[in-house]
């Protein structure tokens, strides 16, 4: 299925007029020469300090892992879908390592009317297993767009790149990303607490029924009435007191070395 999709995308790209003009089309920024730059702003997007911080973070990640993530902000897509623009730009720049295709290109068009502002995460062949389309879409929908809608462009890029880095490094996987962790320890302790109360009530009721020659439910009713009249609770657990449970207490990189993109990724608009 993946092979068929790749063939389809390559065929589409090959027949697209964009394929013949990516290097010459003024809509496409020229291939960067400085490999220590991974944040490119061809329109107003991030503040100077935010852009510098994000760039340093991406360069550090590239040097540590050899995977590459770049952010490109443009003023116009020249009428092309954000996905096509991203793939063609990635191919024209050769973003990622040749033969490894380990680049992730985040394209942002922050200008325009509501609904005409776009973001797209393009994933190179080599990282599609770690960052499948559904996960890229989830990153867009859950990490980027909510922050972008509030005008927090740096926050959206910072959080999205955190997740992409963790996925690319294998620190988290596609199955675990986005799943809210359930606090099982406190839940189990609470269940155990109530189980102890219930078992204590059960044992006392059985003993009371045996001593007084009553059936279980009659004994239960009598003990419940007696407990209510005294304002207490069964098993010696008072309503207002008691303690609680305490929690326990390298090297250079070739950022534009001929990497390729095969149609992996996802985007959205706001």
Mention every residue, 6+ apart, whose C-beta is less than 8 A from residue 161. Answer: 54, 57, 58, 61, 69, 71, 106
How buried is residue 170: exposed, middle or buried, by Cβ count under 10 Å (0-12/13-18/19+)? exposed
How buried is residue 151: exposed, middle or buried, by Cβ count under 10 Å (0-12/13-18/19+)? exposed
Q: Is the pLDDT score of 265 beyond 60?
A: yes
pTM of the model: 0.64
For position 151, what pLDDT does the model report? 95
Give one DSSP letter per residue of 205-227, joined into a string.
Answer: HHHHHHHTT--HHHHHHHHHHHH
Angstrom distances, CA of residue 179 to CA of 57, 130, 142, 184: 25, 16, 12, 14
pLDDT tens, 16-58?
Answer: 444 444 555 778 888 888 878 999 999 999 999 999 999 999 9
| Dist. CA 123–CA 87, nearest whole Å | 9
Mention every residue, 6+ apart, whose C-beta is less than 8 A from residue 125. Answer: 6, 101, 260, 261, 262, 264
The band of 86, judged by pLDDT with boundaries at 50, 70 and 90, is very high
Q: Is the pLDDT score of 223 beyond 80?
A: no
Q: Is the pLDDT score of 247 beyond 60?
A: no
Per CATH, the architecture of 2-178+255-269 is what? Roll (3.10)
Q: Is the pLDDT score of 221 beyond 60?
A: yes
Closest CA to 89 of 156, 22, 155: 22
pLDDT tens, 66-83?
Answer: 899 999 999 999 998 999
CA-based torsion, 77, 108, 1, 134: positive or negative: negative
Domain residue extents for the chain: 2-178+255-269, 191-236
| Dist. CA 79–CA 21, nearest whole Å | 14
What number is the average pLDDT over the span 181-204? 75
Q: Which residues pair with 264 in a beta bridge?
A: 123
| Dist. CA 8–CA 262, nearest whole Å | 9
| Dist. CA 177–CA 38, nearest whole Å | 25
Q: Which residue would you say has higher pLDDT here, 58 or 256?
A: 58
Mention every residue, 6+ apart, whose C-beta is less than 8 A from residue 173. Answer: 130, 167
For position 235, what pLDDT does the model report? 43
Q: Is the pLDDT score of 158 beyond 50?
A: yes
């Amino acid at each position: 299925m993946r092979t068929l999709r790749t063939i389809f995308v390559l065929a589409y790209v090959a027949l697209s007029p964009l394929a013949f003009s990516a290097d010459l089309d003024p809509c496409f920024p020229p291939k960067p020469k400085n490999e220590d730059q991974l944040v490119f702003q061809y329109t107003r997007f991030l503040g100077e300090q935010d852009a510098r911080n994000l760039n340093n973070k991406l360069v550090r990640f590239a040097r540590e892992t050899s995977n590459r993530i770049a952010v490109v902000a443009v003023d116009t897509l020249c009428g092309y879908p954000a996905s096509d623009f991203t793939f063609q730009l990635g191919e024209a720049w050769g973003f990622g390592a040749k033969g490894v295709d380990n680049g992730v290109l985040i394209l942002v068009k922050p200008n325009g009317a509501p609904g005409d502002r776009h973001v797209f995460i393009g994933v190179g062949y080599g990282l599609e297993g770690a960052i499948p389309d559904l996960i890229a879409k989830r990153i867009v929908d859950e990490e980027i767009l909510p922050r972008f809608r509030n005008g927090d462009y740096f926050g959206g890029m910072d959080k999205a790149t955190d997740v992409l880095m963790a996925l690319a490094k294998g620190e988290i996987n596609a199955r675990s990303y986005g799943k809210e962790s359930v606090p099982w320890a406190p839940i189990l302790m609470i269940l155990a607490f109530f189980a102890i109360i219930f078992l204590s009530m059960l044992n006392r009721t059985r003993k009371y029924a045996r001593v007084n020659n009553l059936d279980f439910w009659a004994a239960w009713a009598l003990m419940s009435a007696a407990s209510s009249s005294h304002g207490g609770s069964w098993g010696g657990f008072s309503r207002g007191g008691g303690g609680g449970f305490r929690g326990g207490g390298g090297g250079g990189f070739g950022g534009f070395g001929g990497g390729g993109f095969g149609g992996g990724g996802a985007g959205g608009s706001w």
